[in-house]
Amino acid sequence: MKKIGFIGLGIMGKPMSKNLLKAGYELTVNDLNKDAVKEVVACGAKEGKTNAEVAAASDIVITMVPNSPQVEEVVLGDNGVLCGAKKGTIIVDMSSINPIVSKEVCAKVEKAGCFMIDAPVSGGEPKAIDGTLSIMVGGREEIFDEVKDILSAMGSSVVRCGDIGAGNTTKLANQIIVAVNIAAVSEAFVMGKKAGVAPEAIFNAIKGGLAGSTVMNAKAPMMMDGNFKPGFRINLHIKDLNNCLDTAHKVGAPMPLTSSVMDMMQWLKSQGKETLDHSAIVQYYEYLAGTDIRR
């Protein structure tokens, strides 16, 4: 069985790494947060003191870090993955980053005799915990085939979308649809409340029809309960939408809806709400309407 390195034990990476241990993989881990490292080591992993040390102990290295600069630092920087990786090592970047950066990092990885795929995820902390993430992959088909079983230990859906960068492009599309969907649910429920119809009644009436969605089913109850404990934080969604807008500008794609939701999220950030779940978009509408949709 392949030896795996895992770098990045945050809100997503920690449960993902634990699922790899449950599946029987030998794991070496590293993170700036040493408490997180200790927790995963207590579950059976080994600690790598540096990212290079993690790579030296591994056939496949998974990275799960916040954004493009962190991926570049972890993979290409001093004591980074390429400093310790053997020829033929596969780097699986599961971070959500700019697909253009994925392509640039991959080119340097391949120049060093290694391989890389991008494999960002969707589903938030709950699905990271129960191993049912949706995983979108970009990269060579033969490399995807080598790591598919490993990815399947962390996700219930693992789909190759194309060559390197296609995973992150697909993730950006996912994040656009999720953000606009949450905003639409917020807008509709606040309108309903102002017009005298209980948001819960609206939810129950429409969830089985064409307007129903996984997003609404997950986020509407949180909105109505005032439960904004983060499954996916606003500041992370801002990061993703920044990557969406940057990519769209470079390829010439219009983004009017995404730009509008970005403004809502930036307002929430200005109010000190950036660590709340992205379902807190409803608070933007509630503020403007002078009401709330609590049940």
DSSP 8-state secondary structure symbol assigned to residue 106: H
Mind listing the domains of the chain with CATH numbers? 3-163 (3.40.50.720), 169-289 (1.10.1040.10)
Q: Contact, 92 vs 151, CB < 8 A?
A: yes
Q: What is the pLDDT, as a whole number, of residue 141?
A: 98
Q: Contact, 99 vs 251, CB < 8 A?
A: no
- Please give the chain's pLDDT, 295 residues, in tens: 899 999 999 999 999 999 999 999 999 999 999 999 999 999 999 999 999 999 999 999 999 999 999 999 999 999 999 999 999 999 999 999 999 999 999 999 999 999 999 999 998 888 999 999 999 999 999 999 999 999 999 999 999 999 999 999 999 999 999 999 999 999 999 999 999 999 999 999 999 999 999 999 999 999 999 999 988 899 999 999 999 999 999 999 999 999 999 999 999 999 999 999 999 999 999 999 999 999 9
Q: What is the pLDDT, as a whole number, of residue 126?
A: 87
Q: What is the pLDDT, as a whole number, of residue 231?
A: 81
Residues forming the active site: 171
Q: Contact, 51 vs 28, CB < 8 A?
A: no
Taking the C-alpha atoms of residue 114 and residue 198, their distance in angstroms, rounded to an integer, is 57
Short-list 140, 190, 182, 186, CA closest to 161: 140
Residues 6+ apart with CB under 8 A from 17: 6, 9, 27, 29, 40, 45
Q: What is the pLDDT, as a whole number, of residue 227?
A: 98
Per-position b or e across 101-130, b if 16+ CB within 10 A of its CB: bbbbbbeebeebebbbbbbbbbbbbebbbe
286 token code pair = 């509630």
Q: What is the pLDDT, as a whole number, of residue 74?
A: 98
